[in-house]
Amino acid sequence: MEQEYTSPPDQWTMHVGGKPVGTLISEGFDQPWILCRFDPMPGWSSQLQDLFEAQNEAARSGFPADQMWSIKEIREKGVELRRNSGTEDRFTPLIVYVENGKARFRG
């Protein structure tokens, strides 16, 4: 009987402003998005959560000009994803959404 091997899901630590704020665990793809579970770390503050919630609302509303401030502020804070595989893989995603324990990002 052959045994099927599966690799563990990809995991990244999300850093904002150089500080680790959460772990993203890959759950699948919806091209061009990578879909993840989001596990907050102590650096995930209510202020940061509010900022990502404002970004989510901007997306749901079709990105009206008066709501674009949240996207700009998140970019200015500097979001970086670092792969949790013992390598130095790191990159700045185009955009990351975090909501209700889920995250999705585009490279």
Span 11-48, pLDDT tens digits? 999 999 999 999 999 999 999 999 999 999 999 999 99
Q: Which of 52, 57, 62, 50 is nearest to 95 (CA)?
A: 52
DSSP class of 59: H
Whole-prediction pTM: 0.84
Q: Which two tokens stand for residue 26?
A: 């890959």
| CA 51 – CA 12 distance, rounded (Å) | 20
Domain residue ranges of the chain, discontinuous segments joined by + = 50-79
Q: Residue 3: its pLDDT value, please?
A: 53
Phi and psi based region of residue 31 (left: phi greater than 0; alpha: psi -120 to 50; beta: remaining): beta
Average pLDDT over residues 87-107: 91
